[in-house]
Amino acid sequence: MTPAGWIFMLLCWTAIVSLLAFSFSRIFKK
Amino acid sequence: MTQKNHAAQKPREKWGTRIGLVLAVAGNAIGLGNFLRFPVQCANNGGGAFMIPYIVAFVLLGIPLMWIEWGIGRFGGKYGHGTTPGMFHYLWKHPLAKYLGAIGIAIPFGLVVYYTYIESWTLAYSVFSFTGKYFGIQNHQGMVDFLSAYQGKTVNGYFNGIGTAYLFFLITLGLNVWILARGISKGIETLCNIALPMIFVFGVILLVRVFTLGAPDPAFPERNVWNGLGFIWNPDFKALANAKVWLAATGQIFFTLSVGFGAIQTYASYLSKKDDVVLSGLAASSANEFAEVILGGSIAIPVTVAFFGLIQTQQIAAGGSFDLGFFAMPIIFQKLPWGQFFGTIWFFLLFLAGITSSVAMAQPLMAFLQEEFKIERKRAALIIGAVTFFCMQPVIFFLKFGFLDEMDFWIGTFGLVVFAIIEVIIFIWLFGSKNAWKEITLGADIPLPKIFYPIMKYILPAYLAILLGCWLYQDGIKVLTMQGVPPENYPYIWFARFMLTGLLGTTIILVRIAWQKPHLIQRRIPS
């Protein structure tokens, strides 16, 4: 995998995990 | 009290917990497409560059449409309607509204008719992996022949008829009916509370196995998992100039979030009128994206590259999702230590993803029969089972004549976009954008960014209209005029179209009959 591929994959993964953590943490906090 | 009166006076069902609802909506969205269709689309359309239009479509089309559907559903629920005929009736006070809503019942039920059959294959392959039935078939053509004989298209040493496929179809249909008969909380919610964690656990086990493979054959060091990930993630920015890539990414967002199906509205109708829809919709979408991009993108294609190399993987990906899932993966499991175990959980993961989607797609018709015709829940589930069984016979027996593919185009491609356009026009333009915004944001646990107001009002309908136009130009005319279809298949294609028209026509007639009982429709006054 090229460096650009790694960066792109990690960016997308980070964004999705952040969105997941944000939304579920808010749901469980209620 | 008669059974009929008892059903009429029963309060509407509710979700047991909020997390149960989120998992159910995520279960509706997470389907076979997350694990098979997404990696193939990604690999065939510019790798990492595919993700740019994918993210654009997620933000401009997927998420807004999902919130719209949650809003429509919760709005309909307060009038006691779990399906779009009743919802549209109150959103747009026009006699035509309820008939347009009939599409929101016909589409998901039409999908159930063929999706349940494909779902039954995954259950069968899970059992075949466990027993090692296909172990010994070491090449692609062998697996093609295996599936073909299983489907009853040919006869070989493994299957001498369609009996095995029929048995798994009956088991799958029976499970679907049983879950539907148990109701929203005890049936669908319980299923999703068990199935969704299992999907994630199985997915992570498979991901760890794939990531620790390295280069399985020392003679071919370039055949490794990292090159497999590169096949999906290395960006080819030239692909962004290709309209087909944008179309494929937008289509994938549509399928993966299950928008335009009519199912989200039904699930959301079981909410209370001030329950949040913004955060719940976002949570269900992010769970779906986790399953699709992180799990779905890291299993099938990387492992295929590791065992077959880049060139053969390109050919497999070009062959489509079934080539990857049913031909390539079973061969790979035979080369892996503990292959029977990994094969079993891979196909069982697909089955769980399938069943959480199929019950969601059947629920609109369930709600329609229960609410508009006052049919008791178990009886409604049995009726749906019987109608599905009847309608599925041509799908099973005419599979080789393109019957399923024809249904899939008109329902799974064309129908979804048409219905999405209709619901956006009714909710945003006819009900009024300010009313719609108020409806979506009512009781929201997080503020909805105001940028989504113009997106929902202008960009989303334009995006959908362009998508529909492009699909019609690219595939619609070809499918309509049966280009490339062998002449001997024509009668079966026409039969599929006749059945689809009959399905929609019957739903419209049922809506008309239900609305001839105004005391049933108009009695519900929102508090």
Q: How far is B518 from chain A (nearest CA, A)?
A: 40
- Whole-number Å distance between alpha carbons of B150 and B76: 43
Find the length of chain A.
30
Cβ within 8 Å, pair B446-A20? no
CA of A10 vs chain B CAs: smallest distance (Å): 10
pLDDT number for residue B481 = 87
Dihedral angle, C-alpha B505, B508, B509, B515, nearest 10 °:
180
What percentage of chain B exceeds 70 in pLDDT? Answer: 96
CA distance B91 to chain A (A): 29
Return the ∠ at Cα B381 (arms to B378 and B383), rounded to 5°: 110
The string of DSSP codes covering B383-441 is HHHHHHHHHHHHHHHTGGGTHHHHHIIIIIIIIHHHHHHHHHIIIIIIS-HHHHHHHHH
Q: B-chain residues within 8 Å CB-CB of A11?
A: none
| Residue carrying structure tokens 């009512």 | B442
* Interface residue A25 vs chain B (CB under 8 A): no
Q: How far, in Å, CA of B262 to CA of B255, rounded? A: 13
Residue B354 confidence (pLDDT):
95
Interface A:B, Cβ pairs < 8 A: 69
* SS3 category, B88: helix
CA nearest B237 in A: which residue? A4
Across the interface, do B51 and A8 touch by the CB < 8 Å criterion? yes
pLDDT per residue as tens, chain B (527 positions): 344 444 445 678 889 998 999 999 999 999 998 998 899 888 888 778 888 899 999 999 999 999 999 999 999 999 989 999 999 999 998 999 999 999 999 999 999 998 999 999 999 999 999 999 999 998 888 999 999 999 888 888 889 889 999 999 999 999 999 999 999 999 999 999 999 999 999 999 999 999 998 888 888 888 999 999 998 888 888 888 888 888 888 888 988 999 999 999 999 999 988 889 999 999 999 999 999 999 999 999 999 999 988 888 888 888 878 888 899 899 999 999 999 999 999 999 999 999 999 999 999 999 999 999 999 999 999 999 999 999 999 988 888 888 888 888 888 778 889 999 999 999 999 999 999 999 999 999 999 999 999 999 999 999 999 988 888 888 888 888 888 888 999 999 999 999 999 999 999 999 999 998 765 555 554 44
Nearest to A20 among B48, B227, B286 (CB): B286
Give the tokens for residue B423: 């619901």
A1 closest CA partner among B212, B208, B47, B311: B47
Whether the Cβ atoms of residue B85 and residue B101 lie closer than 8 Å to each other: yes
Place of tokens 């589409």: B107
Chain B contact for A3 (CB, 8 A cutoff): no
B234 to A28: CB separation less than 8 angstroms, yes or no? no
Interface of B to A at Cβ within 8 Å reads 18-19, 22, 47-48, 51, 55, 226-227, 229-230, 232-235, 279-280, 282-283, 286-287, 289-290, 293-294, 445-446
**Does residue A17 belong to the interface with chain B, where contact is any CB pair within 8 Å?**
yes
